[in-house]
């Protein structure tokens, strides 16, 4: 007698029920999916996009349908870029970009380029844009007009990426300082040193000029004071005026003389 015939029918029914429950649970779990905040879901039916769903709990047909979730929040991409300036100086920089995918065009974006946009689209557009914009400026202009250059790069990138349904956030393009060759950096440094020396020499010349003018003005003032005093002396009678001034300064003590019998000198006062 076989062992199979010894299994009670109730056991067989229980085992069958367990299998059905397990398969059912798998089918149920495979029939629902959750889209979280900041996400969208691409729904594929036999490999073709048939819908895009928003956050929440959704139903899909097992086996027939699959789901791919997409982050629609702001993303950050960074790429180095090298270019040649108008005067053929090698320039390198790093561009940082804040962007998000156009949630209303996700199916179009996926159909055209897929969802790996940083490597396939953004990095290449950064390289091309930096080369095109930098080529319109000399190396010196890139330093003095950095904000203008950044704005041109930003506007061009925003326009190009929008064609791929990639939206650049407002103020989302940042550019590090432009780096040049060592020889150019040394030339710039030498130029700055020369300009500083010239400015210092000019300032010294201006200072000396001011000092000379001050001394001339002082000398003129002193000469004018002497002239005024001389005029006052002449106006007051000359010798008498000098004697009066001497008396005004006298402290009341007579000078002491020794070794002589001559008369004691004294100012004549009338």
Please say whether the beta carbons of 167 and 100 come within 8 A. yes
Strand partners, 94: 80
Measured between alpha carbons, how far is residue 179 from residues 64, 117, 126 in Å?
Answer: 54, 27, 16
- Per-residue pLDDT, 206: 75
Please say whether the beta carbons of 167 and 157 come within 8 A. no
- Per-residue pLDDT, 177: 79
- Per-residue pLDDT, 211: 73
- Per-residue pLDDT, 133: 94
Phi, psi of 111 (to 5 degrees): -65, -35
Residue from 72, 64, 144, 140 nearest 107 by CA: 72
- Per-residue pLDDT, 102: 94
Tell me, which fold does domain 75-180 have in CATH?
Tetrahydropterin Synthase; Chain A (3.30.479)
- Domain-by-domain residue ranges, the chain? 4-71, 75-180, 191-251
Q: Is the pTM of this model over 0.85?
A: no
Secondary structure letter of residue 72 according to DSSP: -
Strand partners, 41: 53, 69
Angle at CA 266, nearest 5°, toward 263 and 270?
125
- Per-residue pLDDT, 61: 87
Strand partners, 69: 41
Q: Determine the Cα–Cα distance for residues 85 and 182; give it in Å rounded to an integer.
A: 15
Measured between alpha carbons, how far is residue 78 from residues 175, 179, 207 in Å?
Answer: 10, 17, 52
Q: Determine the Cα–Cα distance for residues 94 and 50; give it in Å rounded to an integer.
A: 39
Strand partners, 81: 93
Secondary structure letter of residue 104 according to DSSP: G
- Per-residue pLDDT, 209: 77
pLDDT in tens, the chain (270 residues): 445 556 677 666 666 666 666 666 666 666 788 999 999 999 999 989 999 999 999 988 888 889 999 999 999 999 999 898 888 888 889 999 999 999 999 999 998 888 889 988 999 999 999 999 999 998 888 888 989 999 999 999 999 999 999 999 988 899 887 888 776 756 555 565 455 655 565 676 677 777 777 777 777 777 767 767 666 666 655 566 666 666 666 666 666 555 555 555 554 544
């Amino acid at each position: 007698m076989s062992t199979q015939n010894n299994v009670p029918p109730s056991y067989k029914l229980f085992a069958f029920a367990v299998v059905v429950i397990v398969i059912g649970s798998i089918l149920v779990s495979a029939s629902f999916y959750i889209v979280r905040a900041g996400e969208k879901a691409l729904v594929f039916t036999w490999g073709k996009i048939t819908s895009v769903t928003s956050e929440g709990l959704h139903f899909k047909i097992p086996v027939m349908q699959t789901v791919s979730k997409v982050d629609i929040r702001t993303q950050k991409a960074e790429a180095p870029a090298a270019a040649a300036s108008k005067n053929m100086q090698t320039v390198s920089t790093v561009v940082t970009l804040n962007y998000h995918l156009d949630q209303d065009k996700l199916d179009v974006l996926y159909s055209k380029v897929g969802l790996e946009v940083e490597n396939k689209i953004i990095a290449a557009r950064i390289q091309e844009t930096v080369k095109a914009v930098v080529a319109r400026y000399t190396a010196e202009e890139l330093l003095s007009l950095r904000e203008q250059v950044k704005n041109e790069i930003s506007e061009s990138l925003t326009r190009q990426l929008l064609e791929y349904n990639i939206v650049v956030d407002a103020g989302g393009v940042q550019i590090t300082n432009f780096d040049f060759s060592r020889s150019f950096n040394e030339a710039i440094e030498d130029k700055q040193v020369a300009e500083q020396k010239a400015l210092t020499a000019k300032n010294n010349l201006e200072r000396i000029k001011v000092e000379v003018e001050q001394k001339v003005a002082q000398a003129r003032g002193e000469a004018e004071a002497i002239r005024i005093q001389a005029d006052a002396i002449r106006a007051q009678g000359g010798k008498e005026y000098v004697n009066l001034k001497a008396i005004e300064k006298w402290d009341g003590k007579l000078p002491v003389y020794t070794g002589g019998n001559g008369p004691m000198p004294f100012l004549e006062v009338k």
